[in-house]
Structure 1
Amino acid sequence: MRIKQISVSGLFGIFDHVIPLNMDDRITVIHGPNGFGKTAMLRILNGFFNSQYSELETIPFSKFCVDFDDDSNFEIIKNYDDSENIENNIIFNFYQPNVEAKKWLYTPIKKNPSLTLSAEDISLSWYNLSSKLKSKKELEWLKELKNNIHLRLIESQRLLNVFPNHRSKLSDDRRPSLFSPELTREIMRMEDKFDDRTPSILSTVSAYSDELAKLMQDKFKEYGTISQSLDRSFPMRVVKQQSLSDITDEQLRNQLNELEETRSRLIEVGLLDQDENSEFQIQPQDIDESTKNALSVYVEDVEKKLNVFTEIATKINLLKKIINNKFSYKEINFSKEKGFIFTTLYNSSLSDSKTLSPTDLSSGEQHELVLLYELLFKVEPNSLVLIDEPELSLHVGWQVQFLKDLQEITKLADLDILIATHSPDIIQDRWDLTVELKGPVK
Structure 2
Amino acid sequence: MQFKYIYIKNLFGLYNYNIEFFREDENKLTILTAPNGYGKTTVLTILDSLSPESLYYFYLLKYEMIEIGLSDGTRLLIDQFFSEKENQEKDKTSDIKQASVKEVRFSWLNEDSSVLCHFLYNNNVIRKAKRNLGFRHELLFENWGQDSSKSDKELLRNKRFNEYIAHDIGQDIFLMQLESLRTKFIHANRIYNEANEKNDVLPIQKIRQKLQKYLSWAYQNYLQQSQRIDSQFIKRVISKEKATISEQEYSQLAEKVMQKRDELFYFRLTDNIAIPSYDKENSFILYNYIKGLGEKYDNYGNLVEKLNLFNKLLQTKKFAQKNITFSPQHGFQIISANGDMLDENLLSSGEQNEIVLLFLLIFEVSDNSVLLIDEPENSLHVVWQQNFLDDILEIARIKNLQVIVSTHSISIVSRGQENAIDLYYLQNK
TM category (shorter chain) comes to 0.7 to 0.9
Contact 1:162–1:201, Cα closer than 8 Å, also in 2: no
Structure 2 residue corresponding to 1:145, chosen from 174, 177, 182? 177
Tell me by how many angstroms 1:417 deviates.
0.8
Other-structure match for 1:182: none
Contact 2:74–2:111, Cα closer than 8 Å, also in 1: yes
Other-structure match for 1:105: 120
Other-structure match for 1:12: 12
2:279 is aligned with 1:279: no
The DSSP-based 3-state class of the residue aligned with 1:160 is coil
Other-structure match for 2:96: none
1:244-285 CA distance string (max 9 Å, x none)? 45x52122033223312321221112322x34xx214314xx
Structure 1 residue corresponding to 2:268, chosen from 250, 267, 270? 270
Cα pair distance change 1:373/1:138, threshold 3 Å: farther
1:16-57 CA distance string (max 9 Å, x none)? 112212112111111111111000111121122252234323
Other-structure match for 1:292: 283
Other-structure match for 2:363: 377
Contact 1:126–1:137, Cα closer than 8 Å, also in 2: no
Aligned residue pairs, count: 384
Cα pair distance change 1:50/1:209, threshold 3 Å: farther
Other-structure match for 1:363: 349
Distance 1:436 1:240 in 2: 69
Distance 2:274 2:412 in 1: 46
Structure 1 residue corresponding to 2:373, chosen from 387, 394, 412? 387
The DSSP-based 3-state class of the residue aligned with 2:302 is helix
Distance 2:108 2:234 in 1: 59
Q: CA RMSD in A?
A: 2.9
Distance 1:138 1:367 in 2: 45
Cα pair distance change 1:137/1:253, threshold 3 Å: farther
Contact 1:80–1:91, Cα closer than 8 Å, also in 2: no
1:161-216 CA distance string (max 9 Å, x none)? 558xxxxxx7xxxxxxxxxxxxxxxx4xxx2xxxxxxxx65200101101101000
The DSSP-based 3-state class of the residue aligned with 2:9 is strand
Distance 2:175 2:289 in 1: 46
Other-structure match for 1:3: 3
Distance 1:125 1:265 in 2: 47
Other-structure match for 1:23: 23
Contact 1:158–1:204, Cα closer than 8 Å, also in 2: yes
Tell me by how many angstroms 1:432 deviates.
1.5
Identity over aligned pairs, percent: 25
Distance 1:403 1:383 in 2: 18
Contact 1:271–1:309, Cα closer than 8 Å, also in 2: no
TM-score normalised by structure 2 residue count: 0.82
Cα pair distance change 1:295/1:435, threshold 3 Å: same
Distance 2:252 2:215 in 1: 28
Contact 1:125–1:136, Cα closer than 8 Å, also in 2: no
Structure 1 residue corresponding to 2:105, chosen from 91, 107, 113? 91
Tell me by how many angstroms 1:102 deviates.
2.8
Contact 1:402–1:426, Cα closer than 8 Å, also in 2: yes
Distance 2:380 2:170 in 1: 41
The DSSP-based 3-state class of the residue aligned with 1:438 is helix
Structure 1 residue corresponding to 2:143, chosen from 114, 120, 126? 114
